[in-house]
Amino acid sequence: MDDRERWDRRERLRLSPYERLALLEIEAHLRQDRGFARRMGGGAHRERGDRAHLRCWLPAGVLLLALASAFAAVMGVRTSDPALLWCFAVLWPLTLFQSFRLLCRVVRRRGRTRERASFWL
């Protein structure tokens, strides 16, 4: 039996309505599982539409946090105001955490698209 005969045989098989319903429920459950979708190539989040406009928020947030941290550090040292120094103490770890998330995103995207051109954003 060659591949063509096997394919023709598969096309002749039909599922009962109960089996179709069970299959639809299984597929719906798998679509909701983010970890499974990520392991299978990211199909679940692609079905929700293009979210390219949401990808710009992390780099913009990192940039704004870095600017605010630099401003709080410079002004805090310059004026010796404890409130500005505390603002820097709060902003700097957030800036580092968001920078780390951005770096992980870039490395993950680069690993996925080694042969294609990769973008930072």
For 51, 58, 74, 76, 80, the CA distances from 67, given in Å and listed in that order, are: 26, 14, 11, 14, 19
pLDDT of 82 above 50: yes
Q: Please check whether residue 88 is in contact with residue 76, taking contact to mean a CB–CB distance below 8 angstroms.
A: yes
Cβ atoms of residues 91 and 62 within 8 Å: no
What is the spatial distance between Cα 44 and Cα 28, in angstroms, rounded to a whole number? 10
The pTM assigned to this predicted structure is 0.52
Contacts with 16 (C-beta within 8 Å, 6 or more apart), sequence order: none
**CB neighbours of 44 closer than 8 A, spacing ≥ 6?**
31, 32, 33, 34, 36, 37
pLDDT of 34: 79
Mean pLDDT computed over 76-90: 94
pLDDT digits (tens, 9 = 90+) for 92-118: 999 999 999 999 988 887 776 654 555
